[in-house]
Amino acid sequence: MLAARYPGFSFGRIAPGEAEIIQPYREELTTHDGSFQGGVLGSLADFAGGSAAGTLLPPGWVNMTVDYTVKIVAPAKGEKLVARGRVVKASSLLAIAADDVYSVNGKDETLSATAFVTMRGLALRAHRIPDVHTTERTGFPRQIYAVTYGEPPDPPALIALIQAIRNSVR
């Protein structure tokens, strides 16, 4: 995921329904007092929850965030952040994950934020059948933009994604 490249985090422990993300301290991710900025905490919670939910998806499925709520409970000052996501409830359509984000100094961990993340699963590979197509909808009030990456980009998956988004806003 392209958005995951900038912060520079790495994965720690990964197990079915669980994911841990480690974000080293970087000055450009902090506020005036050296604390990690709140948006960074939210992003890490989103990535950890989404990754935890992703471990339960069958091959050919992806998930996308549909909602998340973050509560910051203490300043996030430390040499790194550790976000731990765990799936609370999962179905074929939605997964809900709970996340805790800790600031770490040496061996000491301090809870800095807690979050709930809701992810929606999309069966992209299931749409790889003949005659998959998309048509322009006239009078549709919203515009949908999608970007693919990879070698080569995956047009059937992109079409399925666009159709799933369109169906979800009807």
Q: Which long-range contacts (CB under 8 A, 24 or more apart) does 126-130 make?
A: 126/60, 126/160, 127/156, 127/157, 127/159, 127/160, 127/163, 128/156, 128/157
Quickly count: other Cβ atoms within 10 Å of residue 83's Cβ: 29
What global pTM score does this model have?
0.71
Indicate if 164 and 152 belong to the same structural domain.
yes
Token pair of 101, please?
């984000």
Pairing verdict, β 10-15 and 18-24? antiparallel
Same domain, 90 and 160: no
Confidence label for 154 from pLDDT (cuts 50, 70 and 90): low
Does 52 share its domain with 64?
A: yes
33-68 per-position pLDDT tens digit: 999 999 999 999 999 999 999 999 887 778 899 999
Q: Are residues 87 and 41 in the same domain?
A: yes
| Token representation of residue 158 | 């992109």
Structure tokens belonging to residue 74: 């203490």
The reply to whether omega before 152 is within 30° of 0 (cis) is yes
Q: Which residue range(s) make up the domain with 108?
A: 2-123
113 and 139, same domain (yes or no): no
Looking at the fold, whether 35 and 103 belong to one and the same domain comes out as: yes
119 shares a domain with 41: yes
Instruction: Write the CATH number for 21.
Output: 3.10.129.10
Tell me: do 64 and 139 sit in the same domain.
no
Please tell me whether residues 100 and 141 are part of one structural domain: no
CB 104 within 8 A of CB 80: yes
Residues 49 and 86 in one domain: yes
Q: Is the domain of 119 the same as that of 131?
A: no
| Measured distance CA(92)–CA(110) in Å, rounded | 34
Total number of domains constituting the chain: 2
Give pLDDT tens digits for 68-121: 999 999 999 999 999 999 999 998 789 999 999 999 999 999 999 999 999 998
Domain boundary among 107, 123, 139: 123
Asked whether residue 148 falls in the same domain as residue 71, the answer is no
DSSP output for 80-109: EEEEEEEEEEE-SSEEEEEEEEEEEETTEE
Give the phi and the psi of residue 18 in degrees, each rounded to 5. Answer: -140, 150
